[in-house]
Amino acid sequence: MTQRTDWTVPTAGAAIACLVAMFAVTLATGASQEQFELARPAAAYAADLQAHGTATRVVFAIDTVFLVLYSAFFLMFAQRVATPATRTMLAIAVGAVLLTAVLDMIEDHHILAMLGSTEAGAPPSAGEIAFQHTLSQVKFNVSYLGLFLFGLTVPRTRLAGTALALLLTIGTLVQGAWLYVAPLELQAIGSMGRWVGFIAGFALAIAVVRSPDVARAPGVGSGAPA
């Protein structure tokens, strides 16, 4: 029996499951990571932390799994679509994604630290909230760079590849720029669009990987009997 050595598609599927799970928690409780990524008055920020303590911890527990999965996925996806002409660009793109994951970890733990302090009677200061805002937005900007570079390297010989390339390049830049100019009351809609884009991107990436135009890596097995 040939052992599976390529986990690109299962990892993408698991990442989608994490996104759906976090979205379900947000719909059920009103708690989301995004509400703590923008600077707001300290009293309102602390009130949201206090009101959604348990749900926020659940979201970040899932996000811990998600950031591991998306890091592994993009590394494997780069290996699958790389050509001699795109290897350098893909290496930079993977580096940006891994830096995004590190910033995501710092973000999660900083918000959880503010949550713990709030529950102990010491709500976050304006400075802490401003730091969180800066950290989160730098994380997004680094991710935009990585996704854009991935979009430039995606094979565009089939519809799925073309759609993924457009989503990662034009879609990423439009979404990122729009969120910076959108009023606060529309930020939730913009964040939902980002989540939909993530799910669509992973689904299209699965189609690209399964395309006969993407060569299978040497020694990759399906798990089926040889």
Instruction: For residue 164, tell me if it sits in a domain.
Output: yes
Q: What is the largest CA-CA distance in the chain?
A: 63
Instruction: Give the pLDDT confidence score for residue 217 in this predicted structure.
Output: 46
How many CB atoms neighbour CB 193 within 10 A?
A: 15
Instruction: For residue 217, tell me if it sits in a domain.
Output: no
Average pLDDT, integer, range 123-130: 96
Average pLDDT value for the chain: 90
Amino acid identity, residue 183? P
**Chain segment 204-218, per-residue pLDDT in tens:** 999 999 987 675 544
Residue listed under structure tokens 């811990």: 64
Provide CB contacts within 8 A for 153, sequence distance 6+.
Answer: 78, 81, 82, 83, 86, 89, 90, 93
110 pLDDT band, cuts 50/70/90, is very high
CA distance 226 to 223: 8
SS3 call for 112:
helix
CA distance 34 to 44: 14
CA distance 152 to 89: 9
Q: Indicate left, alpha or beta for 167 from its phi (over 0: left) and psi (-120 to 50: alpha).
A: alpha
Instruction: For residue 218, tell me if it sits in a domain.
Output: no
Print the domain residue range for 179: 8-34+41-210
Average pLDDT, integer, range 73-91: 96
Contact 104, 63 (CB under 8 A): yes
Contact 73, 14 (CB under 8 A): no
Average pLDDT, integer, range 122-136: 97
In the chain, the number of structural domains is: 1
Instruction: For residue 201, tell me if it sits in a domain.
Output: yes
DSSP letters, 87-111, are HHHHHHHHHHHHHHHHHHHHHHHHH
- Both tokens of residue 20? 């759906």
Instruction: For residue 224, tell me if it sits in a domain.
Output: no
pTM of structure: 0.89
Contact 19, 199 (CB under 8 A): yes
3-state helix, strand, coil in the chain (%, to 5): 75, 0, 25
Average pLDDT, integer, range 164-191: 85
Residue 31 confidence (pLDDT) above 80? yes
Instruction: Give the pLDDT confidence score for residue 6 in this predicted structure.
Output: 84
